């Protein structure tokens, strides 16, 4: 067992949270992107609020998320070996004494030559060239809560084919202060006040609007605003129809090109490929799918 009072500078400002791992009531570091409404966050403000209010269950971890959780100890261990850091892992979960709704648990702590760093491990599907903002906020949040702010945190990523590499994340006191203010507003203005945040995605907006509609409501005469929306909808539908026709034309051209080339696959390595896909016949009770062929186009652009 580690003496956390000697490792975490803000230990006296923390409370050890010994509740079940999957039953956390509070806002954790991985929730910060949602609170802040960042584009690459794990959820939206509304989805986070619904989960905290018990209206929705926590998302079931998909296969990639399970791989990330399983590989986390391996990632931090190999990173530590490669960089000469002693790794402290696992780290218990804490709450801020002054803000019990703020919960955090660091992935690991790295120590080398008197340097003590927060370590956050990620297992992305594709190596990023610039760290996503929610991850940066997660590291800065962990640094600020723990007090390990003297040296940059290490945002470590590893993929299926690449060993761990790290991106240093310097502590930003102004950003950490803004994060705490945003968390407080979210907690007290929405969670405690039982007021849902505004929907931010088309699906959420659709759901909120549909919840207010029912059969039997009166018909109304279209206004200029309605007419403007109808015109935009007509244009989108027309564009969608034209795009579908262009896609069918391109599929035919790809098939013709592959036939002329006598190839089942054409590729520009590292950039794109055209591949023949054959689907077998499937016959099961109440469902039949005929055998078929189509050409699959895959673009392999680098993902940030």
| pLDDT averaged per 10 residues, the chain (length 304) | 93 88 80 93 93 88 86 95 96 96 96 96 90 96 98 95 95 98 98 96 93 92 96 97 96 94 90 91 84 88 51
Angle between helices 133-146 and 173-186 (to 10 degrees): 90
Is the distance from CB of 125 to CB of 64 less than 8 angstroms?
yes
Whole-number pLDDT of residue 62: 84
What pTM value is reported for the model? 0.78
Torsion of CA 176, 182, 188, 190, to 10 degrees: -150
Q: Which residues pair with 260 in a beta bridge?
A: none
Would you give the DSSP letter of residue 173?
H
Q: Which part of the chain is CATH 3.90.320.10?
A: 4-199
Whole-number pLDDT of residue 200: 93
Q: What is the CATH number of domain 4-199?
A: 3.90.320.10
Is the distance from CB of 179 to CB of 171 less than 8 angstroms?
no
Whose CA is closest to 30, among 71, 58, 70? 58
Spell out the residues 6+ positions from residue 13 whose beta carbon is closer than 8 angstroms to its own: 96, 97, 98, 147
Spell out the residues 6+ positions from residue 270 whose beta carbon is closer than 8 angstroms to its own: 300
Whole-number pLDDT of residue 177: 98
């Amino acid at each position: 067992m580690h003496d956390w009072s000697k490792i975490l500078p803000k230990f006296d400002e923390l409370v050890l949270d010994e509740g079940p791992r999957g039953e956390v009531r509070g806002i954790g570091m991985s929730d910060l992107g949602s609170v802040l409404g960042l584009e690459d966050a794990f959820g939206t403000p509304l989805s986070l609020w619904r989960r905290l209010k018990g209206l929705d269950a926590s998302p079931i971890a998909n296969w990639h998320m399970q791989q990330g959780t399983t590989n986390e100890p391996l990632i931090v261990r190999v990173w530590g070996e490669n960089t000469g850091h002693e790794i402290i892992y696992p780290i218990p979960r804490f709450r801020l004494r002054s803000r019990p709704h703020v919960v955090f648990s660091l992935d690991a702590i790295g120590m080398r030559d008197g340097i003590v760093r927060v370590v956050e491990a990620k297992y992305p599907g594709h190596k990023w060239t610039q760290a996503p903002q929610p991850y940066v906020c997660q590291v800065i949040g962990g640094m600020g809560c723990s007090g390990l702010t003297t040296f940059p945190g290490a945002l470590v990523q590893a993929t299926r084919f690449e060993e761990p590499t790290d991106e240093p994340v310097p502590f930003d006191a102004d950003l950490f202060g803004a994060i705490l203010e945003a968390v407080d507003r979210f907690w007290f203005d929405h969670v405690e006040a039982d007021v849902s945040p505004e929907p931010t995605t088309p699906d959420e907006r659709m759901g909120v609007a549909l919840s207010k509609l029912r059969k039997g409501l009166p018909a109304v005469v279209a206004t200029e605003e309605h007419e403007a929306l109808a015109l935009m909808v007509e244009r989108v539908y027309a564009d969608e129809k034209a795009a579908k026709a262009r896609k069918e034309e391109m599929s035919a051209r790809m098939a013709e090109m592959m036939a002329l080339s006598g190839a089942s696959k054409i590729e520009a390595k590292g950039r794109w490929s055209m591949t023949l896909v054959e689907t077998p016949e499937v016959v099961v009770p109440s469902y039949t799918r005929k055998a078929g062929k189509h050409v699959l186009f895959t673009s392999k652009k680098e993902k940030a």
